[in-house]
Amino acid sequence: MANHKSALKRAKQNEEQKLINTGYKTRVKNVVKDVRSEIAEGAGDKAKETLKRAVSVLQKTASKGVIHKKKAARKISRLALQTNQLSSK
C-alpha cells in the first residue's frame, strides 16, 4: 500500500475510476448481447433499433477511453454486418 499522501490519493482515485469503468463495460456487454439476441430471433427492424442504441453506448464508452476506439469500431462493424445480412434475407 502507498505511504505518501499523493500516492494514497491516487490509489483511491484508481479504485473509484475502476468502479465507473466496470459499469461502462457491463453496459457494453449488455447492449451487444441484446443486439445478438435480436439477430438470433430474426427480428430485423427491432435489431436495427437495438443496434442504434448499441452504437451510441459503444462510441460513448470509447470516447471516455474505457475501451479502445478500434475495438468499438470493430464491434459496431460486426453487429451492423450481421444486422444487414438479417434484413437482406
Number of domains in the chain: 1
Confidence of residue 32 (pLDDT cuts 50, 70, 90): very high
Geometric angle at alpha carbon 19, from 50 and 11, rounded to 5°: 150
Amino acid at 66: V
Q: Per the domain annotation, does 88 fall within a domain? A: yes
State the pTM of this model: 0.85
- Cell numbers that stand for 86 in this block: 438479417
Asked if residue 16 belongs to a domain, the reply is no
Domain that holds residue 85: 45-89
At 50-75, the pLDDT tens digits run 999 999 999 999 999 999 999 999 99
